[in-house]
Chain A
Amino acid sequence: MALLEIRSIIRMFGGLCALNGVDFSVEEGEIHGLIGPNGAGKTTLLNILSGMAPPSSGQVQFAGRDIHALPAYQVASLGVARTFQNIRLFPAMTCLENVIAGQHLTASRPLLPRLLQLPSAWRLDHEYEKDARSTLARVGLENRARVRAQSLSYGERRRLEIARALAARPRLLLLDEPVAGMRQGEVTQVAELIRILAGEGMTILLIEHNMSFVMTLCSRITVLNFGQVIATGTPDTVSRHPHVIEAYLGVDKSS
């Protein structure tokens, strides 16, 4: 069975149907792309998958468990981490602190040893900080550890947000436009990182408008348009699918 099963998801906003019966699945260890024109419902779907918003109807199963009715923090604790399209960092914290805060699910920082200032508390802190530094290094921000998140460049912010998500050691990583606004050099770097993560067994579902990034990186792609899946398959099949071409380019009525 697939790691993530999405079955007939419907999401209404008042009279507007943002998602109209979405079905697809994401296999363990794959890099799955979610593409579609603006307003197709991609971010709405990601919000449902991460528990930030409930679906109007339909089911989501993660590792065999129904998660569509769970609050976001419980979905996260099952091993789903995400980034946001409009980057949600902790601006007043340093890069290192952002990643340390992201360790909520993986680090135990018990209160009592901390209150008594036991050596064990300091030892744990030291260990977690080392972990956080190596996570920062994975996204190439090891030299920015002491810089506040609000002073980072746009591309660095996106990479820091990925690092914070990785600190939770997720099984499924949801990325909402991970390379939007990045320079080509950074895009290659992020693509390489995602490949390595998938190689380590992490499953990745990403939304992206950068087509060459999606086409070269993803093993499978799902295309959404007006809240419905119009195609699912390998990059090759999807890019040749007539409905996809129609959604992106329109049809030539004259021919």
Chain B
Amino acid sequence: MIPMDLNHIFTQFYAVYGSLINFIGINSLLAISLYVTLSAGQLSLGNAAFAGIGGYTAGILTMYLNVPYIVALFAAALMSGAIAMILGFPVLRLRGVFLAIATLAFGEVVRILAINLQITGGAEGLTPIPDKTQAWMIFTALALTGYFMAVLRRSRIGWSFASIREDETAAKAMGINTTWYKTLAFTIGAMIAGLAGAMSAHLNYIITPGEFGFSAAVQLLIFNIVGGTRVWYGPILGAALLTALPEILRGFGVTAGPVRMGVNGFILLMVILFLPNGLVSLFSHNKD
């Protein structure tokens, strides 16, 4: 009888919080996509746009061409990855804030294209995208991506990313082809973002140009800062906390409005001031 009860509790819980849980999964995927580029020391604000490209690609494929969902997901990741690779070679010559500005501009180009093209449904967005995404798919993708990032760290690619992040000039002198590895990080990140965007589109039935603009790009960065970028589960932690925050605050009687934004900002500020390596540093045993 007890398993029945548990099952019942779980179903009820999911009925209430299902969409929140799904959003946590999608946002975690998006946060990891940025984490990949950050782990190679590159600050990209283009990952939201890559999610948009993935969403539109998959949506168009399933809506107009009746392509199977799983194929559409792969196509979305490949499309975002291909565009990232083409964009990467010129853009990754820029460092730090200049790279951020260039990728931000790319995001605007994508948004304006999405508004003006016929096939993307213009300003009203693309709808109705078939409802195909289920929670287990999101969390399978998240688990696989997390695992990939966790083991990548110990591979040749992971060591190269870490070296570039720490000191790009020294990395070059050690024989690391920095241009190639930076482009690789940018491309892997874009592919994960594209996948997340495609899943999100098939979860919400709709994708609009505004969804993946500047504020979304910055939100991904905040997930990473709050969670921490030293280990792969940092961005997941940040994404989960900040996505669930409105619900948690509702429990305390705070609804939408300035207080909620304030709490959001307060958490970010506290993390930057007191936990510069993010919330993960609370759990890590490493000193300093």
B170 interfacial by beta-carbon distance below 8 Å? yes
Report whether A101 and B159 are in contact in the complex, using a CB–CB cutoff of 8 Å. Answer: yes
Q: Contacting B159 at CB < 8 Å: which of A104, A148, A168?
A: A104
Residues of B within 8 A of A77 (CB): 175
CB distance from B168 to the nearest CB of A (A): 9
Known: A52-B169, A89-B167. A107 touches B156 (CB 8 A): yes
User: In the complex the two chains form, is B174's CB within 8 Å of A102's CB?
Assistant: yes
- B109 shortest CB reach to chain A, Å: 30
Interface residue ranges of A94-127 to B (CB < 8 Å): 100-102, 104-105, 107-111, 114-115, 117, 121, 125
**Contact-residue bracket for chain B:** 20 to 34
Tell me which of B11-19, B30-38, B146-154 binds A.
B146-154
Task: Decide: B172 and A90 in contact? CB cutoff 8 A.
Answer: no
A76–B177 alpha-carbon span in the complex (Å):
10
Q: Tell me how far the C-beta of B152 lies from the nearest C-beta in chain A, rounded to whole angstroms.
A: 7
Of A76, A151, A168, the residue contacting B172 (CB under 8 A) is: A76
Q: Is B175 in contact with A168, judged by CB distance below 8 angstroms?
A: yes
The reply to whether B155 and A109 form a contact with Cβ atoms under 8 Å apart is: yes
Q: B166 at the A/B interface (Cβ < 8 Å)?
A: yes
Give chain B nearest CB distance to A235 CB in angstroms: 28
Whether B156 lies near A88 (C-beta < 8 A) is no
Q: Is A251 an interface residue (CB 8 A)?
A: no
Does A50 count as interface, using CB distance less than 8 angstroms? yes
B156's partner among A72, A76, A92, A110 (CB-CB below 8 A) is A110
Q: Which residue of B lies closest to A124 (CB)?
A: B154
Contact A105 B174 (CB under 8 A): yes
A residues near B167, Cβ cutoff 8 Å: 88-91
A52-B172 Cα distance, complex, nearest whole Å: 8
A227 to chain B, nearest CB (A): 23
Q: What's the Cα separation between A109 and B158 when bound, in Å?
A: 10
B154 touches A114 (CB 8 A): yes
- Whether B288 pairs with A151 at a CB distance below 8 angstroms is yes
| Other-chain contact of A101, B162, B172, B288 (Cβ < 8 Å) | B162
Interface string of B91-108 (1 = CB under 8 A from A): 000000000000000000
Neighbour of A115 across the interface among B148, B169, B177, CB < 8 A: B148
The interface residues of chain A lying within 8 Å CB-to-CB of B172 are 52, 71-73, 76
For chain B, what secondary structure do more than half of its interface residues adopt (helix, strand, loop), or is it mixed?
helix
B160 at the interface (CB under 8 A from A): yes
Q: List A contacts of B152 (CB < 8 A).
A: 111, 114
Are B166 and A91 touching (Cβ within 8 A)?
yes
Whether the pair B159, A76 counts as a contact (CB closer than 8 A) is no
| Contact B151 A114, beta carbon cutoff 8 Å | yes
| Interchain CB contact under 8 A, A109 and B159 | yes
Query: B151 and A104: CB pair below 8 A?
Result: no
Q: Tell me which residues across on chain A come within 8 A of B2, comparing CB atoms.
A: none
Is B21 located at the chain interface by the 8 A CB criterion? no
Closest residue on chain B to residue A84 by CB atoms: B170
* A111 in complex: contacting residue of B155, B174, B175, B178, CB < 8 Å: B155
Using a CB-CB cutoff of 8 Å, which residues 127-168 of chain B contact chain A?
148, 151-152, 154-157, 159-160, 162-163, 166-167
> Is A204 positioned at the interface, with any CB of B under 8 Å from its CB?
no
B231 within 8 A of A: no
Residues of A within 8 A of B156 (CB): 104, 107-111
Say yes or no: is A157 at the interface (Cβ < 8 Å to chain B): no
Given contacts A104-B160, A107-B156, A111-B156, 15 further A-B pairs with CB under 8 A are A52-B172, A71-B177, A81-B173, A81-B174, A89-B166, A90-B162, A104-B159, A105-B174, A114-B151, A114-B152, A114-B154, A117-B151, A148-B288, A150-B288, A168-B174
Q: Can you offer 26 A-B residue contacts whose CB atoms are under 8 A?
A: A50-B173, A71-B177, A72-B172, A73-B176, A73-B178, A76-B174, A76-B175, A82-B173, A84-B169, A84-B170, A88-B169, A89-B166, A90-B163, A90-B167, A91-B166, A93-B162, A101-B163, A104-B160, A105-B175, A109-B156, A110-B155, A114-B151, A117-B151, A148-B288, A164-B174, A168-B175
Q: Chain B interface (Cβ within 8 Å of chain A)?
A: 148, 151-152, 154-157, 159-160, 162-163, 166-167, 169-170, 172-178, 288
9 A-B pairs closest in CB distance: A90-B166, A76-B175, A88-B170, A109-B156, A72-B172, A105-B175, A114-B155, A101-B163, A73-B177
